[in-house]
Amino acid sequence: MERVKQVVHAKEVYKKGYSGKGIRIALLDTGVFQHENLEGNIIYFKDYINHRKECYDDNGHGTHIAGILCGHSSHNEKRFFGMAPNAELLVFKILDKNGSGSTDTAINALDWIKHNHRRYNIKLLNFSMGYLPNTNPKMQERLIERLESLWEEGVTIITAAGNNGPEENSISVPGISRKVITVGSSDDIFLENERLRYGGRGPTSCCIVKPEILAPGTDILSLSINPNGFSKKSGTSMSVPIVCGALALSLEKSPQLKPVEIKLLLYDTVDPVSSKNINAWGILNVDNLMKML
């Protein structure tokens, strides 16, 4: 994560004491393991796969994402520090042990969030997954409709560009939505070998620039489902919580921000990129973002 924070210029923000305190994030994924580096962060868990009550993660993807979002140093481990270590998570297990799930399950979780986001004061939604373009079009529409409805109600949604690139028009659903913030991997820019680039690339069928924001996505160190363990994973799924965590810091400073305002602030504060490899607004710059608030 030290490399990550250097790339996205997250330095001054921590010196000024920001940590995501008081900001609640909905995380839809494979669940979460009660890792010691997430102690105090998980305030709600709902399992749509096996209907278990206690927190668990039989895949590891969700725990890895949670660590990037808000993992914090324990007395045994001093090197790991998530983007917003004092943010709070509401975790919804909608993917099984193989990382698979149905659109209906995702929609059920989103419906719960819509009915409860004010009660729990949910400000952000981390959607580090995507559905292939050949998914039933009606199911795609239902999923995007639910996410855009939440966006209109004040929940800022950050989703992945997907790993089906590097061809054009390869953004995963729901990243094709014109409203949500879609995140790609900044590491794709620096790869000379086109075959090694994986991030989904726009434009969408509606000629919208996607992804809007880039953040590191390759070999990201975070928490594993082994007790006290860590692991590295790659993909635009890992890029999403970097941006989401940065937005938690922003909302801690300016809690009144609306999703559209957040998106415009990102547009105005990124580090622009000039690359034939990817078309995006630029790479996340956290300190620039915080200065604008």
64 is catalytic: no
Using CA atoms, how far apart are residues 123 and 48, in angstroms rounded to an integer?
22
237 is catalytic: yes
Using CA atoms, how far apart are residues 271 and 214, in angstroms rounded to an integer?
9
172 is catalytic: no
Using CA atoms, how far apart are residues 46 and 2, in angstroms rounded to an integer?
32
The one catalytic residue in 170, 186, 222, 237 is: 237
Only one residue has tokens 């989904």, namely 200
The one catalytic residue in 29, 57, 187, 188 is: 29
The one catalytic residue in 9, 19, 35, 61 is: 61
Rg, the chain, Cα only: 17
* Active site residues per annotation: 29, 61, 237
